[in-house]
Chain A
């Protein structure tokens, strides 16, 4: 009797030890996954903040060999390319999302669009760059800002389509019924009532999409290319922050490397601001309720 008790107690101890051990291991996993984040952010600030000054934000890159200079053209260029991509992509993405939420919840078109929008978000961005190259650069015979914008818009459309659908689906159904009961046609209910109620969530989706494409490099390498000067029109090559950081990071010059860190810090700052604004906008009462 006491013997069985003894072995039961021992097995119990062993099981509890295994429990502790595995719980501890999951915490180790958490620690391991947080280390790179701390290291990246730490180095960005440590190495990037030093070289950021007024010149960096307002001047063109210095000629090879000369020190100083900045990335002003790249910062503006990222704004232009991302802005154009938003102009092209947001109307299509939002309208497609409206279709999914209001008309095509169960239709065959709706289901296949939803599926492909999800699948397309997993397509490598370098592939998007190739397709934009064949669509825009080959016919125009030159690299251009608009080609870069088309590439980014192709990434943005499926993303905004899904966030819009989710935003509209989260609004209460009573709103639609109330609008329809007042004799409003459905399209005015959608535009004037449902989309207005979901306004904040819509903005959140668009801002997150803009943040996402601001950090893209691969699709711009052979569409927007790069430019050491101010851009001279959207049909010309343009410099972007990401491509410039890449160029400076792999260059064999110390002061270019230092500027790459500063450029990366500015890039991260832009993306964080977009994310914070997006999340602030997300606190819509209708989203909370659903």
Chain B
């Protein structure tokens, strides 16, 4: 009787896990862990695929031209003469132009957002900048063709009449060209640079600000001497990432730069970037050498942006968030 009650009781209680149960749990865990690890490893594999595929497919061009490819100045697919210097020039100059415009503006906006703006205004501006970041490249290009290009065309004669003694400001008023590309790139990299710079300034601890104010600094002196120098590496990382974006940006630049692989000292002359050359000619590349050359250009672009991104990430990872301004 009592033994019966005892078994009844033990039946209503969950049985202790048998060794089989435990092993099954382990199997399930190991399996799930394995699957997720495989997915994670495939992200690394993806990175490897980039390198391998581009290296393999550009090998023909690398062997055929060697280093002369990078210094050649003639781009003539019909006679299979491929010199990349004009597009490298176009890529670098248009991106530097973009930085020249975007760095001071994004720094100003970030300072306003972290140090000056009230909560509500800050929210609104951050929202607007997010919208700016979500506009697709092709829409920037469309706006560039029909709004920015005519604008540049109409102000160019004035610039030429004022500064025309400099070769920088000479040239025919096309509207399509280096300056237009630089402006549109500046607009496009502004959101990412602003958000990264803002993060960098947020990471500056408040005691920096308090100490500076306690020494009777004005707000600007505090920003200038206590906030900006504290996290230089974060600000530099933002600039480097912006540069990486600008170098690789394709559609909007293709639509406004004029697409002529020539080197010119004038800001108003049409030019060509690596990315826009690939966009224009890749689908029409007729020979395997031609295709291979375009892939080599892609590899070059990939290598540069990869280096910039790795460098910037290493800088960003150094930022400490201890005691920064809280939102």
Contacts and interface: CB of A to CB of B under 8 A. Distances in A.
B215 to A, nearest CB: 12
Given A19-B221, A37-B132, A221-B283, A249 B138 contact: yes
Interface stretch (A52-60, A61-69, A92-100, A281-289): A92-100
A119 B306 contact: yes
Nearest to B187: A36
B40 A110 contact: yes
Contacts of B170: none
Interface in A87-119: 91-96, 98-100, 102-104, 109-110, 112-113, 115-119
B49 A249 contact: no
Interface stretch (A169-177, A181-189, A227-235): A181-189
A141 interface: no
A185 B129 contact: no
A241 to B, nearest CB: 9
Contacts, number: 268
Contacts of B38: 95
A212 B128 CA distance: 17
Nearest to A208: B134
B219 interface: yes
**Count class of interface residues, chain A:** 35 or more
A280 interface: no
B134 A275 contact: yes
Contact of A130 (B116, B295, B313): B295
Given A26-B116, A127-B50, A187-B29, A104 B37 contact: yes
Interface in A200-225: 211-212, 214-218, 221-222, 225
Contacts of B54: 127, 130-131, 134
B42 A185 contact: no
A30 B143 contact: no
A270 to B, nearest CB: 10
B132 to A, nearest CB: 5
**Count class of interface residues, chain B:** 35 or more
Interface in B281-300: 282-283, 294-295, 298
A81 interface: no
Contacts of A185: 25-26, 28-29
B275 interface: yes
A contacts with B: majority SS: helix
Contact of A19 (B106, B112, B131, B220): B220
Given A44-B139, A161-B43, A216-B136, A135 B278 contact: no
B142 A154 contact: no
Nearest to A98: B36
Contacts of A264: 138-139, 142
Interface string B1-35: 00000000000000001000000011011011101
Given A25-B108, A123-B306, A123-B309, A40 B139 contact: yes
Contacts of B37: 99, 103-104, 109
Nearest to A32: B105
Contacts of A218: 137, 250-251, 275, 279
B128 A134 contact: no
A26 B220 CA distance: 11
B119 to A, nearest CB: 15
A76 interface: no
Contacts of B39: 91-96, 98-99
A110 B39 CA distance: 11
Given A44-B139, A126-B278, A185-B28, 17 more contacts: A19-B220, A26-B109, A32-B105, A39-B147, A40-B135, A47-B146, A99-B37, A104-B40, A125-B248, A127-B298, A130-B298, A134-B57, A186-B29, A188-B28, A225-B283, A246-B141, A268-B139
28 contacts: A18-B221, A22-B220, A27-B112, A33-B132, A34-B128, A36-B143, A39-B147, A40-B135, A95-B39, A96-B42, A100-B40, A104-B40, A109-B40, A120-B47, A122-B241, A122-B308, A124-B305, A126-B301, A127-B301, A212-B134, A216-B137, A217-B251, A225-B283, A245-B142, A249-B142, A261-B142, A267-B139, A275-B134
Shortest Cβ-Cβ A-B pairs, 4 listed: A124-B248, A29-B108, A215-B136, A95-B39
Interface of A: 15-16, 18-19, 22-23, 25-30, 32-34, 36-37, 39-41, 43-44, 47, 91-96, 98-100, 102-104, 109-110, 112-113, 115-120, 122-127, 129-131, 133-135, 138, 143, 154, 157-158, 161, 183, 185-188, 190-191, 211-212, 214-218, 221-222, 225, 242, 245-246, 249-250, 257, 260-261, 264, 267-268, 271-272, 275
